[in-house]
Amino acid sequence: MHTENPYLLREGRVKKVIREAEGVFTFYIETPIKAFPGQYNMLYAFGMGEAPITIAHAENGHLIHTVRAVGDVTKHIDTLKEGDILYYRGPYGNTWDIESAYGKHLLIVSGGLGLAATRWIYEKALKEASAFKKLVHLYGAKDYDSLIYRYLYQQWGMGENFLITLDKPDERWKGPKGLITELLKMVNVEPDTVVFMCGPDPMVKAFIAELEKRGVSVRNIYVSLERHMKCSVGTCGHCMIGPFFVCKDGPIFRYDRIREFFERKEV
């Protein structure tokens, strides 16, 4: 049986570039490859290496990636212009278990650039809104200038389904201020609520502690982990958390499966 080489490089032409914030750009890549909400690609820069980047969306023959320039690879990618070729491997990883939320409250929680990992599943959930008792998305950003996807907020139901808070006050921002856990006070959380979450580890831990106070079981919480993935096929071990490979077994995990490893400082 023929098996495709997992290290095979694909190429896609950059059709559109959007500047989201300082050092953060969204790329629309023309490619026939199919993907699903929650998956990621390894974006490649010749002579520099590659970086795992979540697939923020896929539409009309395009994969959408939002990239923050933090290293040589991502700094190179963020210089690409419309018409350039972007090389990548993938897609890899599992998907959000949206069916587990049917008939229940679905709460999506995003911190910082973690919104790129939840954007697609939120838009899918909006299209299927009648399948849930209630759908709410909470998004926390460091400051006003780091907000991403501002051009989508109105269609996402800003102020109703989609609530935003900023860590730092800003005269340009009239909405909620403070840590994202403060937004929970604005939401009715039932014990059987299903939660999809992506953000910095401290935010995830703090938010889950608040959810547990409200009676939400960790079996209903799904977390997309951001780890340094090198091979994406479960051989190098760089991304291991306990016995799991984030690249192959994740990046999305039901929290009760990884809790003992996620909350240990040395893991």
Can you give the CATH number for the domain in which 81 is found? 2.40.30.10
pLDDT beyond 70 at 244: yes
Split at pLDDT 50, 70, 90, the class of 265 is: low
102 & 210 share domain: yes
Among 16-20, 129-133, 152-156, 231-235, the minimum mean pLDDT is found in: 231-235
215 & 252 share domain: yes
Q: Does 247 count as an annotated binding residue?
A: yes
Containing structural domain, residue 48: 10-92
Q: What's the average model confidence in pLDDT over 209-236?
A: 91
Split at pLDDT 50, 70, 90, the class of 39 is: very high
> Is 60 within the bounds of a domain?
yes
Q: What's the average model confidence in pLDDT over 206-216?
A: 96
Q: How much is the pLDDT for 227?
A: 77
Q: Does 236 count as an annotated binding residue?
A: yes
pLDDT beyond 60 at 55: yes
Q: How much is the pLDDT for 263?
A: 84
Q: What's the average model confidence in pLDDT over 194-204?
A: 96
> Is 1 within the bounds of a domain?
no
Among 4-18, 109-123, 180-194, the minimum mean pLDDT is found in: 4-18
Q: How much is the pLDDT for 47?
A: 87
146 & 107 share domain: yes
Q: How much is the pLDDT for 8?
A: 82
88 & 102 share domain: no
37 & 142 share domain: no
pLDDT > 70: what percent of the chain?
A: 97
Residue whose structure tokens are 């069916």: 99
Query: Greater confidence, 263 or 191?
Result: 191
Q: What's the average model confidence in pLDDT over 218-246?
A: 89
Entry pTM: 0.94
Q: How much is the pLDDT for 93?
A: 95
> Is 5 within the bounds of a domain?
no
As for how many domains the chain has, the answer is: 2
Q: Does 198 count as an annotated binding residue?
A: no
pLDDT beyond 60 at 3: no
88 & 109 share domain: no
> Is 113 within the bounds of a domain?
yes
152 & 238 share domain: yes
What is the chain's mean pLDDT, rounded?
Answer: 93
pLDDT beyond 60 at 247: yes
128 & 73 share domain: no
Q: How much is the pLDDT for 266?
A: 52
